[in-house]
Chains A and B, each alone.
Chain A
Amino acid sequence: MSEATLQKRSVLERVTAWSGKFAANPYVRAIQGGFTAFMPLMIMSSLATLFSALIFNDGGILSGLLAAETLADIRTIFTSITNGSNNILSLVLAGGIAYYLCKAKSFENTIGAIMTAIAVMIIFMPLTVSVTVGETSGEVSNLIPFNYTGTNGILVSMFVGTVGTKLFMAFSNNKKLQIRMPAGVPEATARSFNVMIPTILTGFIFAIVGFAFRMFGTNVYQFVMTVIQTPLRGIATSAAGFLIVSIIANFTFTLGVHSSVINSVVLRPFLSANFNENVLAVAAGEVAPNIISDAFMAYYQRIGGAGCVLALVIAIFLVGKKKQNREIAKIGAIPALFNIGEPMIFGLPIMLNPIMMIPFVLSPTVCIIIGYALTAIGFVNPLAIYTPSTTPVVISGFLASAGDIKVCLIQVLLLVICTLIYMPFVKIYEKTMAEEEDEE
């Protein structure tokens, strides 16, 4: 091996080690775990949107058969589903992140941490909610606003789930805070006191934090939303920001660290916020407002697995000559059809393969640009439905758009373009393989 390649190796190794360290970080894993745990609720609400749009909406399959009022009554089922998922995303996410942080830190009292996290989410809430009925508006108490439990509280819930839980665990692990009961008191009783103090301390501390924000005429949610979440979300879900993070995430996958690690921490909070808004808009009978969301990523950027490797499979079948490559394409074809890229990524391999890394990062990048452009000019609407991540391409486009054939056509177009991107690289790669064999 030449000096230059040796040096390149060591830089790559360092980047690999760094991304591995990032991925193994307990807070990163907690946030990732929390969002993954929310997935079933997200798919539940997508199913509701799908039923509502295709079957029970005015203009849906049943619109001629049932009276409009009956349909509207039935649609309340789906509204209640949206309330129980999209509208409480942040509330349950805080509990989920708390749970996974406990797991990552081998902390035993998980239920205590989850309950405290959810309690703190409510402690942070403003005490009154401004409500407008007709022409009168005023402040009403005893309400928890969906405004904060849903989309707008995502960053607060990440903060509460990590920092709040960390505090709770620190209090719990502090021996000085454990009450020593006089001899004769049953152990279970003593233990219940020891669990209590961390909850009380955590709750009071955050209540005082909430009070401080109130004294400045705002509340934690409002503050985090305007000062942090909205600007960051603007950057992360802008075409350029999303593009850059996607490139980095796909690049780390070529180093062997799953792309969802970067995605889940840097993008997911904001993609989910955007997706949530889309779902709520569609549920209200409007057009989804955000082009870039979880659904955009799944159905335009990640068709046929990370790096669009389904296109690589097709490219190898078309121009690949090496038997071993055609073999791996045969193995990887069915998984890629279900958006599982690992056989190709590790089998060909794409990982640490300087030639195949390029189309692996380039293909999704081109997909983002085309998908974004075609949505921005109004050819299709932004997507507002999410299906399980293994839904095959074209079917996923059909479901995600509630039956818009144009989205399926875009997916086919993207698949063709990605195949064309992969083809020359397959040829180059096979040529270097031939040269290596000659050397041997």
Chain B
Amino acid sequence: MKKILLMCMGGFSTGILVEKMKAVAKEAGEEVEIDAISTSSLDAAAENYDCLLLAPQISYLAADIEKKYPDLPLYRIQPTDYGRLNGKKILHKALEIMK
């Protein structure tokens, strides 16, 4: 099963988005595991996931993360998709980059 990781400052706002994405995934019959973490927990979690989605308010970390985890597909969630909690679009994007 593919595992998707979302990250924001405290893991709160991505936590909300994760629930939306799970609902979309369930409806579409996609077998995925989705979790949200805070920036401080990335190192412990990174290797257990197949991709990382970055919340817009911490997209400044992208360059560092790419350097540190070159094999982990990374996607910066678009601000409007993030704000509108567009679980469908973000889930599709995640599935796309994990291919």
- A contacts, CB < 8 Å to B: 19-21, 23-24, 29, 33, 36-37, 100, 103-104, 106, 253, 256-258, 260, 327-328, 331-332, 335, 338, 340, 342-349, 351, 389-390
Contact = CB atoms under 8 A, between A and B. Distances in A.
Contact of B63 (A24, A37, A349): A24
Contacts of A36: 10, 38, 40
14 contacts: A21-B60, A24-B64, A33-B40, A36-B10, A106-B68, A257-B60, A258-B57, A328-B83, A338-B12, A340-B13, A343-B16, A343-B83, A349-B80, A351-B56
B96 to A, nearest CB: 21
A347 B83 contact: yes
Contact of B82 (A37, A100, A346): A346
B67 to A, nearest CB: 9
A93 to B, nearest CB: 14
Interface in B52-75: 55-61, 63-64, 68
Contacts of B80: 346-347, 349
Contacts of A351: 56, 79
Nearest to A351: B79
A37 B9 CA distance: 13
A211 B39 CA distance: 39
Contacts of B39: 29, 33
Nearest to A255: B57
Contacts of A343: 13, 16, 82-85
Chain B interface: which size bin?
20 to 34
A417 B61 CA distance: 36
Given A256-B56, A346-B83, A349-B83, 17 more contacts: A20-B60, A23-B60, A24-B61, A33-B39, A103-B43, A253-B57, A257-B60, A258-B9, A258-B58, A335-B12, A340-B12, A344-B83, A346-B57, A346-B82, A347-B83, A347-B84, A351-B56
Interface of B: 8-10, 12-13, 16, 38-40, 43, 55-61, 63-64, 68, 79-80, 82-85
Main SS at interface, chain B: helix
Contacts of A338: 12
Given A23-B60, A349-B79, A100 B85 contact: no
A95 B10 CA distance: 20
Contacts of B79: 256, 346, 349, 351
A331 B60 CA distance: 26
Candidate in B12, B39, B68 with the most chain A CB atoms within 10 angstroms: B12
Nearest to A24: B60
A22 to B, nearest CB: 9
Contacts of B8: 342
A23 B63 CA distance: 12
A343 B82 CA distance: 7
A342 B83 contact: yes
Nearest to A21: B60
Contact of B57 (A37, A100, A342): A342
